[in-house]
Chains A and B, each alone.
Chain A
Amino acid sequence: MGELEDRRTAVSEARFESLLDTAADGVIVIDETGRMLVFNKICERLFGYSSAEAIGQNVSLIMPPEFSVSHDRFMNNYHRTGEKRIIGIGREVSGMHRDGSVFPLELSVGEAKTADGRQYIGVLRDLRSRRAVEQRVSQLQAQVVHMTRLSAMDEMGAAMAHELNQPLTALLLYLQAVARQIKTCFADNKPPSDKMLGVLDKAVQEAERASHIVQRMRQMVEKRDPERATIDLREVVNEALDLSEFVAQGATVTIRRVFGMTPIHVDADATQIQQIILNLLRNALEVAKESEERWVKVSIGADDRSAFVSVTDSGPGFSEDVSKSLFKTFSTTKKSGMGLGLAISRAIAQNHGGDLMADPGGNGQGATFTLMLPMHHLDETEDDTWG
């Protein structure tokens, strides 16, 4: 009887072993204390330890130090409260190879109640190849953004030429005036007057006005790698609005800015955020231009977790059908083809851990597009004042 049972157990164990070793994913079993009981072939390859080396050791062996410290705490917490943070859920974690390199893993955890106490089965999938694809996609995204920015530049080119015309005209006229006066002075054998210096000062101011315009345009055009920095959303949006007033010039649409007094810090690529704002603004201005009241409202706000920028126009809003297809990449519900712009904008927002949402409005209400970004949180090191 006992022998038969032993044999059955042996057979099922052999089956289990072979199952583990043919599995395409890493499989680890740990006990309640975090000790590894099973460490399959894939795991050997992933982490660089043989199963003989790994079995019996704490699972923190294959975690980066910052995770291994909290792992014991998580397990204790679960044993005490029964609150599931990962079991049956699965999430992305980091693993550490024997050589110290850290890599992304997808981890799903199951729980088994055995005679020897609770055991946890972890299934691990290497995310490095998926990560490479994601990186490629975000590179492409950056390129597409760059391209759309350039075509927006084309449109702005004419507007900018007009904007530069004014300071250049004033500058040249001031210089013509001074040149004439100096010639007259020479002819009359008189010294140049203070008045001429005053005119030259004005000429310098106009030259500065022109170069300021060029500088701002250059900032928008230059291709930069996505740079994350802690930025004040109000400043970044303000700059984009200033820029778009070149485009709006002549069209009598009022841009209302509803900004608070306190800085709103987010971690983001300022140029990409401006690209989103410009896109939303361009659409809104186009709609507002055809409306009776002709305004676009841009408001910025925040709660503890998220910051948001809302762009509302005085137009009639979207029909339900249109609002459904708004974010589809190539939807051409509108002559300007804003589908692509919105889809890219949303992709950028999501890349930043945020989102782009549309309230279609209607019934006398204009549409509102809201860009949401996670707030910057001071981490502990920044927070420390050290008395």
Chain B
Amino acid sequence: MYIIVEDDPSVADALESLLSGAGLPVRVFASAEEFIHSSSLTSEDTMIVDLGLPGMSGGELVRHLEKAGATPKVIAISGKSSRTIARETEGLSDLKILRKPPAADWLEAITA
């Protein structure tokens, strides 16, 4: 399952179109809180999370999941500067980062 956590509805919808158009199973959440309250992860899942979420940020969500022992594949997306991204993902291991706007095909990057 591909889990999208993104607060911008257009970006979330476009990402969903891209993944489900390729026949992949997708679920979309608008915030970290919404995801935590309604779902859990297996190690089979891939989570695509916006770092700049309002409320609990993407970085905090990943930290929360790591503490809970779930270690899914995580892909972080962000439109911020590389310095800000570095600060927000400090201490997080094994994180793939995709920057907005996309410079390459994201489906390949996500499924790779």
Contact = CB atoms under 8 A, between A and B. Distances in A.
Instruction: Tell whether A pairs with B.
Output: yes
Interface of A: 161-162, 165-174, 176-177, 180-181, 199, 202, 205-206, 209, 250
Contacts of A162: 79-80
B112 interface: no
A267 to B, nearest CB: 40
* Dominant SS among interface residues on chain A: helix
The 8 closest A-B pairs by CB, nearest first: A165-B79, A173-B14, A168-B101, A170-B10, A170-B14, A177-B18, A169-B100, A177-B17
Contacts of B79: 161-162, 165-166, 169
Contacts of B22: 180
Given A162-B80, A165-B101, A168-B100, A173 B18 contact: yes
B15 interface: yes
B13 A202 contact: yes
B21 A173 contact: no
A218 to B, nearest CB: 20
Contacts of B18: 173-174, 176-177, 180
B86 interface: no
Given A162-B79, A165-B100, A180 B21 contact: yes
A173 B8 contact: no
23 contacts: A165-B79, A165-B100, A166-B8, A166-B10, A167-B10, A168-B100, A169-B100, A169-B101, A169-B102, A170-B8, A170-B11, A172-B14, A173-B17, A176-B106, A176-B107, A177-B21, A180-B18, A180-B107, A199-B21, A202-B10, A202-B14, A202-B17, A206-B14
B40 to A, nearest CB: 26
A166 B102 contact: no
B44 interface: no
Interface in B21-38: 21-22
B101 to A, nearest CB: 4
Nearest to A196: B21
Interface in B43-92: 52, 77, 79-80
* Residue from A166, A171, A180 having most chain B Cβ neighbours under 10 A: A166
Contacts of B10: 166-167, 170, 202, 205-206, 209
Given A173-B18, A199-B21, 19 more contacts: A161-B79, A162-B79, A166-B8, A166-B79, A169-B102, A170-B10, A170-B13, A171-B101, A173-B17, A174-B17, A180-B21, A180-B22, A180-B107, A181-B21, A199-B17, A202-B10, A202-B17, A205-B10, A250-B52
A360 B8 CA distance: 39
Nearest to B80: A162
Contacts of A205: 10
A173 B52 CA distance: 19
B25 to A, nearest CB: 16
B4 to A, nearest CB: 11
Contacts of B17: 173-174, 177, 199, 202
Nearest to B15: A173
B94 interface: no
B18 to A, nearest CB: 4
Nearest to B23: A184
B11 A166 contact: yes
Nearest to B7: A166
A318 B2 CA distance: 53
B100 A174 contact: no
Contacts of B80: 162
Give the most central of A171, A173, A177, A199: most B CB within 10 Å: A173
A39 to B, nearest CB: 74
Contacts of A167: 10
B95 to A, nearest CB: 19
Contact of B14 (A161, A165, A177, A181): A177
A159 to B, nearest CB: 11
A166 B11 CA distance: 6
